[in-house]
Amino acid sequence: MKKSILLCLVSIFGMSAVTLAHSINFETEKHAPLVTVKAFFSRTSPLVNAGVMIYAPDETQPYQTGRTDKAGYFAFMPNAVGDWAFAIDDERGHKDRLVISIDQGFFNGDDQIVGEADADLRPEEVENQLTEVVQEKNIPNVYRVIFGLAIIFGITGTLYGIKARQALQKNNG
């Protein structure tokens, strides 16, 4: 009886180590004059405060450096056509790289994904536009709570099921 419970616990915790390994996902949106990048492990788990380096096309020195915000967002204003490299490192073992292609349509206003944007925005207007985009993408913490409770109830149910089966086998055998 104790061996099977121990085996179950070892399996659960052994599998959880595998499931905790995250890969970084990206969402990019082009809103002239900004490109926003959201880095996240899952929809409810953003990559918070990760180091970011942006490289302009054919450049070896970073064009811009910084950190993602609490929602996993980082934004930059490209100034040339080409492939921009986005490197991210959360300094906990998660690193990734993304290439974002910027074509002339972006600067002409043809490459916008959401809404209309004015290429001559003042810095405070750019910041307001970015804030609106970030607020639209936030996911409530209630999903984290529901997921956590589901895990707790699932593990508890599994352990009680094993215990009940062992009691039945003991009574019948």
Tens digits of residue pLDDT in 6-26: 555 555 555 544 444 467 888
Helices marked H in 21-141: 104-108, 123-137
**Sheet (strand 82-89) strand order:** 64-67, 51-55, 82-89, 95-102
Domain 25-122: homologous superfamily in CATH? Immunoglobulins (2.60.40.10)
Going by pLDDT thresholds of 50, 70 and 90, the confidence category of residue 40 is: confident
Domain boundaries of the chain, sorted by first residue: 25-122
| Closest among 88, 71, 85, 70 to 35, alpha carbons compared | 85
pLDDT per position as a tens digit, 101-111: 888 888 877 65
90/116: higher pLDDT: 90
pLDDT average, residue stretch 50-57:
92
Instruction: Count Cβ atoms within 10 A of the Cβ of residue 20 and give its class: 0-12 exposed, 13-18 middle, 19 or more buried.
Output: exposed
172/132: higher pLDDT: 172
Task: Report the pLDDT value the prediction gives residue 5, as an integer from 0 to 100.
Answer: 59
